[in-house]
Structure 1
Amino acid sequence: MTRSLRARFALVALATALAAAVAVGLAVQGLFERHVEREMLAELDADLRFLGRNLAMQDGAATIRVQPLPDPRFQEPLSGLYWQVRDDATGALLRSPSLGGWEFPLQADALRPGERHRHIVLGPEGTKLIVLERRIDDAAGASARYRVAVAMDRKLLEAANRAFLLDLLPALAAIAAGLGAAFALQGAIALWPIRRARQALRELRAGRRARLGQALPSELGGLADDFDALLDAQRQSIRLARERAAELAHGLRTPLALLNAQARALRERGEAQAACALESATAGMEARITRELARAQIRGPAPLSGPVLLAPVVARIVGALARMAGDDTVAWRQEIPAGLTAPLDEGDLVELIGTLLENAARFARSDIRVAARSRDGSLLLLIEDDGPGIPPQDRPAALARGVRLDAERGGTGLGLAIADDIVRAYGGDLQLEDGAAGGLCVRIVLPAQSGTPPVSDRPAEPRPAAAQRVAATAVRGP
């Protein structure tokens, strides 16, 4: 059995339409057949009465006073309409020209005068005949002695039924097509709530909706309530997990600080090798804590607080970083359309742009370029510098956690890795390429989201220390 509801509706609709058309056809055909049979029997009865009224004796034998009978088929050989009169006393037989030399094989049943019997007998060429018979008195008023019968070939009835069925088939086809169209419309209407639910789930996943709410029909209201309750429980669990991650990170920083103090004490006592080993271990732990804490604070694409204009955010971060640098040796170029929006939470956007621009400012010689545009329904963001760049073979390592390709420049080695985590959380892609000025170009593609999502009711959460410093400075503006 197929899993598709649409296919199931189609199969049921097709079967029902065909069954309904066949049932209507059989019912109408049966009604027509009974109607035609009644009409034919009425005609036979009229012919039988006509024959009885026109029966007279001539020289002691039965004869027909009026010739011919009204229907001309009684005169045509084997036409399907026949009559015969038998004298029970003498055995004399009078037949219609259509009967030729054939005689009805009538049963020897007792008939009262005027009583009519109906029989099915074999006629010429083995055909089945419908026979009506009666007994009548002679003209002198003697007891009934004449057995009068008229017959009709059932092939005439069957031919009328076939002709009617051929005329009925187009109507049955139209009925089946109409029922199929009606069932298709019914199926589309029945499946519309499922399409609405899928659209609501896509909006929920994309961040344009906070809850299912009234997106489902009233019959599925309980399902929507349960789903929303599950979402609330999941958000509560995520919030608690983030809080615990932050608490764990802050709790570990004190022991790490003590270990660093111990490493400095070892170095002062001349135990440089032990101090280096301890500092290396604490540096790795510090980097891991910083990145995992940054990951825990990524809000992700659902639900968002609204579309964020990209140019003002970049301008604030550039102004903050320019003031922090304290010199004018680096030129900051921004090529961002005024109305272009970014499909990110504003906090995640500040974290992403701030991390990448801080990394570019650390290595740039004289030029940093930030460009963005909409392309094929997605947001394309480019951040380039004219620094030394990163060789292609080292770029995968630059996105790994805690890897510092240039220890002399400072930093934790987490900037590009954290940026990659944020981009991937929104279903995007981050690539490291050669810049036009010979440095590094960070190329980011983010899927666009249309519409204005509902305002999120999630509380603001703490971010890592480095991100807090850049974001706080950027918010103040240049």
Structure 2
Amino acid sequence: MNRRSLLVRLGCAAALMILLALAAGGAGLTLIFDRQMERRAVAELSLYLKALAAQVRLDADGTMGLEATPSDPRFEQPYGGLYWQIDGPGRQQLRSRSLWDEALPTVDTPPGRPLRARWIDGPERSRLLSVERTIVLDDTATDTKVHLLVALDRADLQAERRSFLSLLVPSLVGLGLLLIIAMAGFIHLALRPFRDLQAHLQAVRSGHGRELPRGVPDEVQPVVDELNRLLAFHDASLERARTQAGDLAHGLKTPLAVMGAAARRARDGGQAALADEIDEQVGAMRRQVDRTLARARAGMAAALGYRSTPVGDAVNKTLRALQTLPGAQSLDWDAEVAPGLCFAGDEGDLMEILGNLLDNARKWAHGQIRLVAREAGARDWTLVIEDDGPGLPEDEALRIERGRRWDESRPGTGFGLAIARDLVEAYRGVIGFSRSPDLGGLRVSITLPGHQKKE
């Protein structure tokens, strides 16, 4: 789980708040149920107490008795959970059969006071909810006070409470799950503009657009506006850098041409050694300028995803150009490009990579050159170029990175492979050199990220 994810943090916070709200609601409902259940029990006990009060009699000899006992069977069952007790004059006491040989504690209260409910200790270490009242028997010669008590075992109330909780807990769990699912859906919809923004940024990155759409929620609109201004600034910076690079290249052509003319005059004047030295330095300057400009241009284009270039078209153009060079017609050119494969960058950069690698293969191949471009994973593509030439020793691969030639027996500057490496690395790709297992010559493999299908 990514703790930095906004979706995860909002989801966890929402789930926590839902759980807390359900817990508080469940506790509140349980408390309300307990209070209501206790009120109902007191009301039921009050009815029993009134029934007892109506049945109490006092005989002529002062003996206390009942005309009839309450009909609830729990009064007849020993320790049945429902009890009554009457305390009369002369310590006379009448009890329900359910009390057996136990007596309940009473508190003397003045006659006429409202019913009193309280918790008392009962038989078998039980807790009882009792209702008590003191009444005066008016049908006697003297006003005689009688104390009435009816009690209910808390176990009966607990049973009802457990029954209530057995329904409440699953209901709250189900409600919680529904609320969490609903909240997840709401959060998913709330974050949808950010996913759309990511998709539009990827389209800009791959070259399928240069501006983000403006039809977004008001909360996201400021971000979109700032990103559009940033993209416009980067595009302007890229064009300005391209113009400056072109001006630099043009500005260096004249001094280099003058130095080349000076070398020719020196050679005509019999100073061949001086002319060769000047030509060598002019060539080195041109190579360094070409390499630096190519890397700078590729770095800017790769950073902004300037456009998406079909690989097949670039390969065909490069092959047509190379096959016009001397000796190219005698070679067997085998090219295989996956349909719809695109390079997320400038067409000129891709053709320069292909041109340098294929031209190097042309110089060294005996009779066959093979090119394969295909997808590699979800967002990468690979380019493999092989030839049947002498191949490249592994310990010489690092020299190419510095722009050195690893063999002086073929014409060329030796900077082609180094420039290709610079361009690949500018697009965050990987290039490798090895010996071809099939053809026996040099095998150059390139992996470039972020390929896009051509629509």
Which category of TM-score, normalised to the shorter sequence, fits these structures?
0.7 to 0.9
Query: Is the Cα–Cα contact under 8 Å of residues 80 and 152 in structure 1 kept in the other structure?
Result: yes
Counterparts in 2 of 1:25 and 1:318: CA distance versus 1, 3 Å:
closer
Matched residues in 2 for 1:389 and 1:99: separation? 108
- Using CA pairs under 8 Å that are at least 6 residues apart, name the structure with larger relative contact order, 1 or 2: 1
> What corresponds to 1:476 in structure 2?
none
What letter corresponds to residue 393 of structure 1 in structure 2?
D
The Cα offsets for residues 385-441 of structure 1, whole Å up to 9 and x where unpaired, read as 45554443323323433x334556444332222222333334433333435555444
Do the aligned residues in 2 keep the contact of 1:133 with 1:150 (CA within 8 Å)? no
AA paired with 1:81? L
- 1:90-113 Cα deviation digits (max 9, x unpaired): 55333333334555443343222x
Aligned counterparts, 1:61-460, within 5 A: 61=62, 63-87=64-88, 90-100=90-100, 102-112=102-112, 115-124=114-123, 125=125, 127-140=127-140, 143=143, 145-213=145-213, 217-264=217-264, 277-298=277-298, 299-300=301-302, 303=305, 305-306=307-308, 308=310, 310=312, 312-325=313-326, 330-336=330-336, 339=339, 341-344=341-344, 345-365=346-366, 367-377=367-377, 378-401=380-403, 403-406=404-407, 409-435=410-436, 436-447=438-449, 449-452=451-454
TM normalised by structure 1 equals 0.79
Q: What is the DSSP-based 3-state SS (H/G/I as helix, E as strand, rest coil) of the residue aligned with 2:133?
A: strand
Structure 1 letter corresponding to 2:348 = G
Instruction: Say if 1:115 and 1:135, in contact at 8 Å, map to a contact too.
Output: no
1:184 Cα deviation after fit = 3.6
**CA deviation after TM superposition for structure 1 residue 37, in Å:** 1.2
Distance 1:126 1:450 in 2: 78
Percent of pairs with identical residues: 32
Would you say the 8 A contact 2:55–2:68 is kept in 1? no
Instruction: Decide whether the 8 Å contact of 1:55 with 1:62 is kept in 2.
Output: no
Query: Which one-letter code corresponds to 2:117 in the other structure?
Result: R
Q: Which runs of 5+ in 1 are unaligned?
A: 454-478
> CA offsets per residue over residues 232-260 of structure 1, 9 Å max, x none?
21222222222222222322333333344
Superposed displacement of residue 30, structure 1? 1.6
Tell me, yes or no, if the aligned pair for 1:213 and 1:225 is still in contact at 8 Å.
no
Deviation at 1:356, TM superposition (A): 3.0
Q: Residue 157 and residue 319 in structure 1: after superposition, are their counterparts in 2 closer, same or farther (change >3 A)? A: closer
Q: Aligned equivalents of 2:361 and 2:118: distance in 1?
A: 109
CA apart distance, 1:348? 2.7
CA distance 1:342–1:368, shift in 2 (3 Å): farther
* Residue identity matched to 2:21: A
Q: Unaligned regions of 5+ residues in structure 2, if any?
A: none
Pick closer, same or farther for the CA change 1:99–1:395 going to 2, 3 Å.
Answer: closer
Q: 1:58 to 1:143 in 2, by over 3 A?
A: closer
Partner of 2:324, secondary structure, is helix
- Whether 1:19 and 2:20 are equivalent positions in the alignment is yes
Q: Structure 1 residues 116, 440: CA separation in 2 closer, same or farther (over 3 Å shift)? A: closer
Letter matched to residue 420 of structure 1: R
Aligned pair count?
447
Q: Contact 1:82 / 1:99 at 8 angstroms: preserved in 2?
A: yes
So what's the TM-score if we normalise by structure 2?
Answer: 0.82
Distance 2:141 2:184 in 1: 73
- In structure 2, give the amino acid aligned to 1:444: I
- Are the counterparts in 2 of residues 318 and 332 from structure 1 also a CA contact under 8 Å? no
Distance 1:76 1:289, change over 3 A: same
Q: Secondary structure at the match of 2:170?
A: helix
Counterpart contact for 1:132–1:150, Cα < 8 Å: yes
